[in-house]
């Protein structure tokens, strides 16, 4: 379970860095293209749009991976609950009690 969480966290950090880099590059290309005219401007705009398209492609790829990981986590949680029903009830009751205590104080 910790391996899955670590994998998700690493994937999120990598995704975030990739997306920020691609978007920043695209923004700089597109802002440079605004001051130019003609073929050079068209070329920079095309490269900027290509970078944005790649960013969107990576985002959809990582979204698919996140869906798969979340389904795996849900399945493992389901198995755990079925294998340990009383432990799960005790944990849920404890969390409910703590939430009730905190809400009762305010």
pLDDT on residue 2: 58
Neighbours of 78 (CB within 10 A): 10
Type and span of the H or E element at 6: helix 2-34
Over the chain, what is the mean pLDDT?
A: 79
Distance CA 40, CA 29 (A): 11
Domain boundaries in the chain? Answer: 2-105
pLDDT on residue 33: 66
pLDDT on residue 94: 94
Which structure tokens are listed for 87? Answer: 């432990």
Q: What is the 3-state secondary structure (H, E, C) of 40-105?
A: HHHHHHHHHHHHHHHHHHHHHHHHHHHHHHHHHHHHHHHHHHHHCHHHHHHHHHHHHHHHHHHHHH
Which structure tokens are listed for 31? Answer: 């802002």
pLDDT on residue 12: 62
pLDDT on residue 86: 92
Radius of gyration of the chain from its Cα atoms, rounded to whole angstroms: 23
pLDDT on residue 9: 65
pLDDT on residue 22: 73
pLDDT on residue 95: 93
Residue ranges, the chain, pLDDT below 70: 1-16, 33-36, 106
pLDDT on residue 54: 80
């Amino acid at each position: 379970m910790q391996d899955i969480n670590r994998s998700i966290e690493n994937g999120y950090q990598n995704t975030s860095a990739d997306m920020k880099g691609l978007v920043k590059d695209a923004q700089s290309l597109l802002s440079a293209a605004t001051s130019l005219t003609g073929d050079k401007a068209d070329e920079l705009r095309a490269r900027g749009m290509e970078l944005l398209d790649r960013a969107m492609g990576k985002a959809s790829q990582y979204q698919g991976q996140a869906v798969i990981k979340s389904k795996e986590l849900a399945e493992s949680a389901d198995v755990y609950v079925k294998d340990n029903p009383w432990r799960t009830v005790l944990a849920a009751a404890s969390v409910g009690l703590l939430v009730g205590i905190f809400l009762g104080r305010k």
